[in-house]
Structure 1
Amino acid sequence: MIKPFRIDIPQADLDDLTDRLSRTRWPNEVDDAGSDYGFPLARLTELAEYWRTGYDWREHEARLNELPHFTTEIEGQNIHFVHVRSANPDALALVLTHGWPGSFLEFLDMIEPLSRDFHLVIPSIPGYGFSGPTHERGWSAVRIARAWAELMRRLGYERYGAQGGDFGAGISLALGSVAPEQVVGVHVNYLPTRPVPDADLQLSETDEARLDKVRQLMANRPPYQALQALTPQTIGYALTDSPVGQLVWIAERFAQWTDPRSQISDERMLTNISLYWLTATAASSARLHHDAPRGLPLPCQAPVGVAVLPHDITQSVRPLAERLYDIRHWSELERGGHFAAMEVPELLAEDVREFFLTHVKDDAEAGARTGTAV
Structure 2
Amino acid sequence: MRVDPFTVSVPDEVLTDLRERIGRTRWPEAAPGEAWSQGVEVGYLRELLAYWADGFDWRAAERELNRYRHQVAEVDGVRIHFVHHCGSGDERTPLILTHGWPSTFAEMLGLVDRLGDRFDLVVPSLPGYVFSQRPAQVGVDRRYVAGMWHRLMRGLGYERYGACGGDFGAGVATHMALLEPERVIGIHLSTPEMEPYTGPGTPPLTGEEQAYLAQLSRWEETERGYSAVQSTRPQTLGYGLNDSPAGLAAWVLDKWRSWSDSGGDLDGTFGRDSLLTMLTLWWATDSITASMRDYYDNRWHGSPIGPEDRVRVPTAMAVFANEFVPEGQVPRSWYERLYQVRRWTAFPRGGHFAAMEQPDLLAGDIAEFFGGLT
TM-score of the pair, normalised by structure 1: 0.91
What's the counterpart of residue 186 of structure 2?
185
1:97 aligns with 98
Q: Against the structure 1 CA distance between its residues 336 and 195, is the aligned structure 2 distance closer, same or farther, given a 3 Å change threshold?
A: farther
Distance 1:87 1:139, change over 3 A: same
Contact kept, 8 Å, 1:134 with 1:284, in 2: the verdict is no
What runs of 5+ residues in structure 2 fail to find an aligned partner?
Answer: none
- CA–CA distance in structure 2, aligned partners of residues 235 and 25 of structure 1: 18
CA-to-aligned-CA distance 1:282-328 (integer Å, 9 cap, x gap) = 11000001111264265323111101111112453211211111110
Q: What corresponds to 1:367 in structure 2? A: none
Q: Give the deviation of 1:108 after TM superposition.
A: 1.6
**Which residue pairs with 1:227 in the alignment?**
229
Q: Distance in 1 between matches of 2:90 and 2:21?
A: 48
Q: 1:142 and 1:164 mapped to 2: Cα distance? A: 14
Aligned amino acid, residue 231 of structure 1: R
Aligned partner of 1:232: which letter?
Answer: P
Q: Do the aligned partners of 2:196 and 2:337 also contact (CA within 8 Å) in 1?
A: no
* Residue 76 in structure 1 maps to residue 77 in structure 2: yes
Query: Does 1:304 find its partner at 2:319?
Result: no
In the alignment, does 2:274 pair up with 1:273?
no
Residues in 1 aligned to 2:149 and 2:253: alpha-carbon distance in whole angstroms: 29
For residue 133 of structure 1, report the CA deviation from its aligned partner: 4.8
Relative to the length of structure 2, the TM-score reads: 0.91
Tell me the secondary structure at the aligned position of residue 152 of structure 2: helix
- SS of match in other structure, 2:252: helix
Mapped partners of 1:30, 1:123: distance in 2? 39
Deviation at 1:30, TM superposition (A): 4.0
Partner of 1:200: 204
Maintained 8 Å contact 1:133/1:281: no
Q: Are residues 1:85 and 2:86 paired?
A: yes
Task: State the superposition RMSD in angstroms.
Answer: 1.9
Quote the offset at 1:357 in angstroms: 1.0
Secondary structure at the counterpart of residue 3 of structure 1: strand
CA drift of 1:221 comes to: 6.0
Aligned to 1:340: 354
Instruction: Give 1:250 shift.
Output: 0.7
1:1-374 matches, cutoff 5 A: 1-192=2-193, 193=195, 196=198, 199-200=203-204, 202-204=206-208, 208-218=210-220, 222-260=224-262, 263-292=269-298, 293=302, 295-296=304-305, 298-314=309-325, 316-358=330-372, 360-361=373-374
Q: Secondary structure at the match of 2:231?
A: helix
| Secondary structure in 2 matching 1:108 | helix
Counterpart Cα distance in 2 of 1:105 and 1:208: 36
Distance 1:117 1:256 in 2: 34
Partner of 1:369 in structure 2? none
Q: What's the offset of the Cα at 1:161?
A: 0.1
Provide the rounded CA distance (Å) in 2 between the counterparts of 1:290 and 1:35.
27
Q: Indicate conservation of the 8 Å contact 1:189/1:306, yes or no.
A: yes
CA distance in structure 1 between the aligned counterparts of 2:46 and 2:278, rounded to whole angstroms = 18
The CA deviation string for residues 38-95 of structure 1, in whole angstroms up to 9 with x for no partner, is: 2111111111111111111111111111111000111121100010000123201000
User: Distance in 2 between the 1:48 and 1:123 partners?
Assistant: 28
Q: Are 1:184 and 1:302, in contact at CA under 8 Å, matched by a contact in 2?
A: yes
Provide closer, same or farther for how the CA distance between residues 294 and 216 of structure 1 changes in structure 2, counting only shifts above 3 A: farther
> Hey, what's the Cα distance between the residues in 2 that align with 1:257 and 1:220?
12
* Alpha-carbon separation, structure 2, partners of 1:190 and 1:155: 27
Q: Is the 8 A contact 2:196 2:338 kept in 1?
A: no
Contact 1:195 1:211 in 2 (8 A): no
